[in-house]
Amino acid sequence: MNVTPRAALAQALGLALLFAHGAARAQMEMQGHATPSAAQADRGMQDHAGMQPGAVEPGPGTRDRGPGKAQARPAHFSSAATCSCASAPASALPREPIPALTEADRAAAFPVLRTHAMLHAPSQTGYLLFDRLEGWDTDHGSGQAWEASAWYGGDIDRLWLRSEGARSGGRTEAADLEALYGHAVSPWWDLLVGVKQDVAPGDARTSAAFGVQGMAPYKFEVAATLYVGEGGSASVRLQGEYDVLLSNRWILQPRLEADVAFADDRARDIGSGLSTLEAGLRLRYEISRRFAPYLGVVHERAFGATADYRRDAGEAARETRVVAGVRVWF
């Protein structure tokens, strides 16, 4: 038979409504099975209360096998699907609230450490360093020079000995020995006070010494010492050096030393003002931390009246020499 388009559309709408009604009814039935009513829940609780320990409640997944016999439902039916046990809310407060932080708690967690007393315990030790034991051979002749320092004591108070000098042509040109008391005023700086003895041949002098030594920022080792001698003569010696680590064993050390006199000292051929300046560059190889041979170049120059005194004596006012030596400490 012939079906008009209008009749076909009406039939399609009817089928769609029938399908939607069936789906909604099926969903309601599923929700009804999944969520038992209050009466069913109460009856279930009574049934559970009346059961004997160890008995298994018959359910849809069990078959009756006679009095007292029931087969448990399969394992894939979890108890979570049939039990409506209440669980504690996740945001429940703890039974004992965390107490507020007090000053006593902070003091116990961050006690005041007596680092100064712990780090500077009363222990005595010693140290001896020959920073320069070197020689050279130039057109003007050969020579040797040394610079040494030693100390004994603790971290705060120490007894210092320092010596520096040079020999040329088989005779000692200049040499001195200092005995100083050093007191640490910071982890990096010491104040010094003591005496200096010049042991140059024919000109032995004793002077009072006041100085400071330590490590400046960027690891520059510096020292400044004021010497006051007989008759009010005074001079200042400034020293500075820096270790450039090329590797774990190769170390390049630039060094600078300047002497400044406050008055003319004709007996020692020293003029007032900047008298001498010595600049050196030494490259050492540390075979061990205690022993290191080195090669270097040193330039020494006299200024002002000191340069004039040297020229009058037939000596050069400036000199550049290549040196070789060792650095050793004990």
Query: Residue 170: what pLDDT?
Result: 83
Alpha-carbon span 33 to 311, nearest angstrom: 121
Alpha-carbon span 1 to 237, nearest angstrom: 129
AA letter at 153: G
Give the number of residues written for the chain: 330
Question: Tokens 């109460």, residue?
Answer: 42
Tokens in use for 318?
């400036």
Query: Residue 267: what pLDDT?
Result: 82
Tokens in use for 80?
């979570």
304's enclosing H/E stretch is helix 304-312
Tokens in use for 121?
């315990």
Alpha-carbon span 22 to 161, nearest angstrom: 109
Q: pTM for this structure?
A: 0.63
Alpha-carbon span 229 to 324, nearest angstrom: 34
Helix (H, G, I), strand (E, B) or coil at 45: helix
Query: Residue 330: what pLDDT?
Result: 92
**Torsion of the alpha carbons at 224, 226, 227 and 231, rounded to the nearest 10:** 160
Helix (H, G, I), strand (E, B) or coil at 58: coil
Indicate the domain borders of the chain: 180-329
pLDDT tens, the chain, 330 aa long: 555 656 666 666 666 666 666 666 666 666 554 445 444 444 444 444 444 444 444 444 444 444 444 444 444 444 444 444 445 455 565 577 788 888 888 888 877 666 555 555 568 999 999 999 999 998 878 999 999 999 999 999 999 999 999 998 888 888 999 999 999 999 999 999 999 999 877 778 899 999 999 999 999 999 999 999 987 789 999 999 999 999 999 999 999 999 999 999 888 889 999 999 999 999 999 999 999 999 999 999 999 999 999 999 888 899 999 999 999 999
Alpha-carbon span 298 to 319, nearest angstrom: 8
Tokens in use for 207?
């002077």
- The architecture that CATH gives domain 180-329 is Beta Barrel (2.40)
From residue 272, alpha-carbon distances to 140, 266, 307 in Å are 27, 10, 11
Around Cβ 200, how many Cβ atoms within 10 Å?
15
Residue 15, sorted as left (phi over 0), alpha (psi -120 to 50) or beta, turns out to be alpha
Query: What proportions of the chain, in percent to the nearest 5, are helix, strand and coil?
Result: 25, 45, 30
Nearest to 242 by CA among 216, 215, 221: 221
Query: Residue 213: what pLDDT?
Result: 97
